[in-house]
Structure 1
Amino acid sequence: MFIVGFILKAINFYGLYSYTIPLHAFTYGGIGMMTLGMMARISLGHTGRNINQPPSALKWVFALLFLGTLMRVILPIFIPSAYLHIIGTTQGLWIIAFAIFLYHYLMIFIRPRSDGKPG
């Protein structure tokens, strides 16, 4: 999403759409997915679990974030009158994605390490 943000920023040099469109590609898409990816990977590694076998629901978490990013970046360009509804919907997708992550990772966080090491 960072590349998409840079492309949208370059295209918007001519003021075709709001300056917030590329910003949302960077923040919601780029930083949001990067943060969640790091949390998922680090949580597995630091609890002694296999980093190559994340919970299967993680794909749905990233799918929701990707869908939210597409909606937040593309829809306001074509339907600017629905901006507030789009923001509300994408906020809901963000919350649902992180709630699914928390639901599946909470047990990982509170159980002892699977490799038996302290920590």
Structure 2
Amino acid sequence: MPWWATAPRWPAPGGCTTPPTGSTRPGRSRALRRAEGLAARARQELSSAGLRPLPLRYPQTDTLTAQERKAAEMTARGQAAAVVAKALHLTEQGVRQLLSSVYRKVGTDAAGLAEALETFPRPRR
């Protein structure tokens, strides 16, 4: 039987509106704790099935390198990959790989890159 079939349901059948209790961490909403628990259980199930779950990424700790930020800013301004490659002394394929890393870290694609860069933390010096 899959793990989600045995997971407790809330609200419980019969109309109980009191959420289940559990350990509480200060400053964490109950929904976030439940989501984190569900994610941990899903990762455990993936591991037990022989799959490697992707590492979790957080914008607070996963900042862009200086070269990634420069490439992202140039791309967000509309410059072509060839121009970015020449400015950064890379090949066009290298720029595409760099931007792929940027999109993954920032959590967007080329269309939302400019807006996402405004809120993404700058690298520490």
Task: Provide TM-score, normalisation by structure 2.
Answer: 0.23
The structure with the largest helix share of the pair is: 1
Task: Provide TM-score, normalisation by structure 1.
Answer: 0.24
Higher relative contact order at CA 8 Å, sep ≥6: structure 1 or structure 2? 1
- Please say which structure displays the higher CA radius of gyration: 2
